[in-house]
Amino acid sequence: MFKGSFVALATPFKKGKVDEKAYRALIEFQIKNGTDGIVPCGCTGEAATLSIEEQKSVIKIALETIGKRAKVVAGTGSNCTHEAMELTMFAKKAGCDGALIITPYYNKPTPEGQYRHYRDIAEKSQLPIMLYNVPSRTGLCLSPETVARLSKVENIVAIKEAAGSVQQVMDIISLCDITVMSGDDAMTLPFMAVGAMGVVSVVANIIPDKIHKLTKNYLDGKIDSAKKVHYEILGLVKAMFIETNPIPVKTALSLMGMIGEEWRMPLCEMMPENRAKLRDVLVKYGLIRK
């Protein structure tokens, strides 16, 4: 169901509110450049600082703008199972193709607690679920054994894997039949080499054509072409993480003239020296003028 290039779309703000016009323009930019799926309200979309009503509004805007031109996998995760269930059921009713649900953070649930969290949301919503394992943000790792157990729930069909480990991906695929999507742009090619089907990408916000080309070439068996793109964009991928995501990618989008340079606190603008480094990289890649 899920494969290819999905973008974890940034959420633009204007004077503290979601900038709907800019958001729709970002989506059109993605569609024009071949993106297979849009993920509103993920970590890159600053979902943790959006109210539930704002999240619902952003999801609705995405669905209205996209129509049937790409998959819509809404970020509906929370460290509160009840809240995640409410958002996931909303996504189902609104017409999303799936939901991306982060492993509960801060609470540090046991593997049994993780299992029950995902199982209950999946069974209640009946929406295709993409698990999201990102231990650098949540403080704990979703083990391959727990993923295998969850894969037996009928509508838990995929995982966004962002632990940065090829071994983790191999262990998941060896234990169960679940679609693995890379959650780390630098690891997309290595993960696909051991069986992943694509990526939920940050850098696709600014180079959607390249990420689409990389994943499509690999899936079409054009491995050398995919490898060429991987190494071509590596410097840009690294630049997206010189500060906490999504600070660099939103700065890049602003420098490209696509959104305002605004975040939700506690995120803030880049340090001047890092902003200068990012600008140099964008110039090098031809994304902005010197």
Rounded to an integer, the average pLDDT of 108-116 is: 96
Distance CA 177, CA 164 (A): 20
- Count CB atoms within 10 A of the CB of residue 139: 12
Dmax (CA) of the chain:
53
Q: Can you give the residue ranges of every domain in the chain?
A: 4-220
Q: What is the set of active-site residues? A: 132, 160
Listed residue (162, 181, 220, 221) closest to 3, CA to CA: 181
Say what the pLDDT of residue 217 is: 98
Say what the pLDDT of residue 39 is: 98
Calculate the alpha carbon distances from 176 to 19, 74, 159, 188 in Å: 41, 24, 12, 20
Distance CA 109, CA 158 (A): 21
Q: What is the pLDDT of residues 241-285, one digit of tens each?
A: 999 999 999 999 999 999 999 999 999 999 999 999 999 999 999
Q: What is the pLDDT of residues 25-42, one digit of tens each?
A: 999 999 999 999 999 999
DSSP secondary-structure letter at 71? E
Q: What is the pLDDT of residues 39-72, one digit of tens each?
A: 999 999 999 999 999 999 999 999 999 999 999 9
Percentage of residues of the chain with pLDDT beyond 70 = 100
Q: What is the pLDDT of residues 1-20, one digit of tens each?
A: 799 999 999 999 999 999 99
**Which residue has 């993960």 as its token pair?**
191
Say what the pLDDT of residue 290 is: 83
Rounded to an integer, the average pLDDT of 93-110 is: 96
Distance CA 189, CA 7 (A): 16
Say what the pLDDT of residue 1 is: 79
Q: What is the pLDDT of residues 227-237, one digit of tens each?
A: 999 999 999 99
Q: For domain 4-220, is the CATH number 3.90.1150.10?
A: no
Q: What is the pLDDT of residues 115-174, one digit of tens each?
A: 999 999 999 999 999 999 999 999 999 999 999 999 999 999 999 999 999 999 999 999
